[in-house]
Structure 1
Amino acid sequence: MGPGPGTGRTTGRSAGGDLGAAFGASNGASTGADSEAGADVGGGADARTGAAAGYRPRGTLRVLVELRRQWRRRRTQLVFALIALLPLVLVAAFEIGGQDPARSAVTYADLAVTSGPNFVVFTLYLAGSLLLPVVVALFFGDAVASEASWSSLKYLLAIPVPRLRLLRQKAVTAALLSLLALGLLPVVALIAGVIWYGPGDATSPAGDAVPFGRSVVMLAVAVGYTVVQLAWVGALALWLSVTVDAPLGAVGGAALASVLSQILDQITALGSFRDLLPTHHAWAWIGLFATDADVTGMADGLLVSLVYALVFGVLAAYRFSRKDITT
């Protein structure tokens, strides 16, 4: 596949692969259009805009092409492999560790080995504090900053891919990868839990029990809530990604913000101000497994998270639309 004008071929897969595979690259009138990226760029130019004849902004950087491009990265494959392995590691830990007979209080860790749904609840509860926010921050924080660090961002925009379209396509791709990753964890956990501990009711430490069929539906709702609730992490990471130009800084900054919010949420002296923290309602989905399911906390959590996501998303778009990408 021919390289874009003046770009050559980016070195190695670590530099994001061949840019021509991600978008329609034009090399004057002779190269024509790259059909995979869908940018129909031919020879000649539009007298009014100066763009190549047949150039369509909506045909550049298609989501499926960008998704395939990101999936081929070792980073993405490693993340999914680790997520798939986590439930198996937990099963092995329970088999090796056993139970503590001296402990009288019943916890989610104790209930995890009683049924498949309980094992999924414990896995989500455990991963929700750090692993899941880091995964979301990784996909969003790396979206634009990696292109800037590889010096390929200016070539993407010179194709030209409109700035806001590039940001949107990157965000949609990161959201799809996050959704797949966050959905993979409970699926593997449920399969492993049913095999090792059998199907059964989902029970809470308070003694509430939810039948297996209904518990699977509630788990799907819990995962959906978690995905939307973590939208603020993705939006923050995206804003940092277009600001700092360093993938590690963007990912680490968003993950650190999540940890800091959880720490502040433990300070009871803050009172009602804790309700404004984006992580205050992160585990509100636990209420789904009570006899009388309470979704009030989930509604509040979604509202707070979406407000933060909207603010950070607008900041990301504003910053990127005015960003100097020549250096």
Structure 2
Amino acid sequence: MTATVAAGPATAAAPRVSVARGYRFELVKLVSQWRIRLLVLACWIAPALFVAAVSQQSSLPVDTLFGRWMHATGWAGSLVVLGFSGTWALPLLTSVVAGDVFASEDRLGTWRHLLVAVRSPRRIFAAKALASLTVILLLVAGLACSGAAGGVVTVGNHPLVGLDGHLLSPGDAAVQVLLAWVCVLAPTLAFAAIGLLGSVALGRSPMGLLLPMLVALTMQLAQMLPLPVAMRLALPSYAFMAWNGLFTGPAQLGPLFIGIVVSLLWAVTATTLAYFLFLRRDFTDLAHDGSGRRAITVGALPLAGLLVLTAVAVAPATSATGSGIEQDKVQRSVATAFAHLYRLQTEQLNRPDVTEAQLKASAACTKGSVRVAAEGPGNDWRCVVSWHLPDVEATGSAIYQLDVTADGRFMADGDGPKEVNGYFLVRTPTGDGPNPLWQFDGNVELLSTSKG
């Protein structure tokens, strides 16, 4: 009894641990883990080494967006890293960091000690969520800075060719690359929130750690299917690709804005659900291993409902129907990119300058046979580009085979004539150089209402 009475005033006099102090404690716990330190080191070093190594090779990853320009400018390397990160690296990082921040306490059996020290589940949740967010932001910053530094140091601060063929100055390229990395923070937060939800709902189960990566993989597979554009935009993973619109003129901001809003909605919803589950958890059960039924009813079903609601809201708000890939859009994108790149080739060959207005470039595109409607993704698109030169009566024409993906990106492969796009090199006054009209990437605007 004496011990109890003596301990009572001491306990009552103990100050409550603030969120800031708990945040510092959780941040130190995360950074002290060897796997987190390795991730930080890898994110700040590996992209620079990768970009530097690939930029020095004779063959480039031309099947990757902006990969064909890694010899021309250092900013292309950072965008190649961004494309890979959105597909694999960022979902994996959120799994390792956010997907384990609560489950680690279950494995170590330290919940009772933490609750006695902090005396507030709300403060514990806030501290852990903020600490994991800080580490994730540090990792994303490392990927962005390392990839850009490796490219600029190795190749140089040169202009970048956009997805519609227009040339961005080094300053504009730097700004657009930075904006692209900032935009992918929204879907990264969404998957981090899914990681928090899995870590809380599934306890020490390995599924909590793998949940963000599994969700990301499922959404990537869905993005490869010919889904309606409204359903595609309702997935937070689309924001990992929507930054492509920053590199067209004018910028295609509609899909990017929708992708960011959808990702933030997923982030807020998943974090709220994780908070709700955490406050109602029984911490006296040392064998707690998560509740599969609760994870489905409180976690999966609300997120599935959010997916349906956003898809229903996007369709009427944007007048988006079908795949969003239509004949007129493809023809307009191909003609615009060809006109810009034709001017670039003209400058390479020291020919008289010509403007896009003077060229009057147009494209006639078909898909498959004449019996098939020219719409939707596929590698059976064929375009004939026509243009006019000042004081020349004859009309120039060139043929391209197109591979259009479901997200609107396409690669145009030149199929003649040889003098225009039939060979990957052109003979310039200073020697052979890459032919910009041989192959080029482009982006079809999925939403007719998006404006730059």
TM class by shorter chain equals 0.7 to 0.9
Instruction: Give the direction of change, closer, same or farther, for the CA distance of 1:271–1:157 in structure 2 (3 Å limit).
Output: same
Q: Could you give the per-residue CA deviations for residues 112-134 of structure 1, whole angstroms, max 9, x where no partner exists?
A: 23211111111111221011111
Residue in 2 aligned with 1:98? 59
Max radius of gyration: which structure? 2
* More helix, by proportion: 1
Instruction: Give the direction of change, closer, same or farther, for the CA distance of 1:99–1:118 in structure 2 (3 Å limit).
Output: closer
1:272 Cα deviation after fit: 2.6
Instruction: Give the direction of change, closer, same or farther, for the CA distance of 1:271–1:288 in structure 2 (3 Å limit).
Output: closer
> Which of 215, 230, 253 in structure 1 is aligned with 2:188?
230
Residue in 2 aligned with 1:70? 30
1:193 Cα deviation after fit: 0.5
Residue in 2 aligned with 1:139? 97
Aligned-partner Cα distance in 1 for 2:127–2:266: 20
Q: Which amino acid aligns with 2:114?
A: L
Aligned-partner Cα distance in 2 for 1:107–1:298: 17
> Which of 20, 43, 46 in structure 2 is aligned with 1:85?
46
Cα pair 1:210 1:291 within 8 Å, conserved:
no
Residue in 2 aligned with 1:256? 214
> Matches of residues 29-178 of structure 1 in structure 2 within 5 Å?
44-45=8-9, 51-58=11-18, 61-83=21-43, 84-96=45-57, 98-99=59-60, 107-178=65-136
Cα pair 2:17 2:117 within 8 Å, conserved:
no
Aligned-partner Cα distance in 2 for 1:309–1:234: 8
1:90 Cα deviation after fit: 4.0
Cα pair 1:119 1:190 within 8 Å, conserved:
yes
> Matches of residues 139-288 of structure 1 in structure 2 within 5 Å?
139-246=97-204, 248-288=206-246
Deviates more, 1:91-100 or 1:285-294: 91-100
Aligned-partner Cα distance in 2 for 1:97–1:244: 48
Aligned-partner Cα distance in 2 for 1:59–1:293: 41
Q: Could you give the per-residue CA deviations for residues 176-227 of structure 1, whole angstroms, max 9, x where no partner exists?
A: 1111110111111111101111111122343122211122222222222111
1:96 Cα deviation after fit: 4.4
SS at match of 1:45: helix
> What TM-score, normalized to structure 1?
0.78
1:248 Cα deviation after fit: 3.6
Aligned CA-pair RMSD: 2.5
1:302 Cα deviation after fit: 1.4
Cα pair 2:73 2:156 within 8 Å, conserved:
yes
1:95 Cα deviation after fit: 3.2
Which structure has the higher relative contact order (CA within 8 Å, separation 6+)? 1
Q: Could you give the per-residue CA deviations for residues 145-183 of structure 1, whole angstroms, max 9, x where no partner exists?
A: 111111112210122431121111111011111111101
SS at match of 2:252: coil
1:302 equivalent to 2:263? Answer no
1:88 Cα deviation after fit: 0.8
Cα pair 1:287 1:295 within 8 Å, conserved:
yes
Aligned-partner Cα distance in 2 for 1:29–1:292: 73
Instruction: Give the direction of change, closer, same or farther, for the CA distance of 1:156–1:61 in structure 2 (3 Å limit).
Output: farther
> What TM-score, normalized to structure 2?
0.58
Cα pair 1:115 1:199 within 8 Å, conserved:
yes
Aligned-partner Cα distance in 1 for 2:41–2:5: 44
How many residues end up aligned between the 2 structures?
281
Q: Could you give the per-residue CA deviations for residues 256-306 of structure 1, whole angstroms, max 9, x where no partner exists?
A: 101101111221144532221111232211221223223222210111111
Write out the 4+ residue segments of structure 1 that deviate beyond 4 Å after TM superposition. none
1:137 Cα deviation after fit: 2.4
Q: Which amino acid aligns with 2:72?
A: T
Aligned-partner Cα distance in 2 for 1:162–1:320: 11
Cα pair 2:163 2:248 within 8 Å, conserved:
no
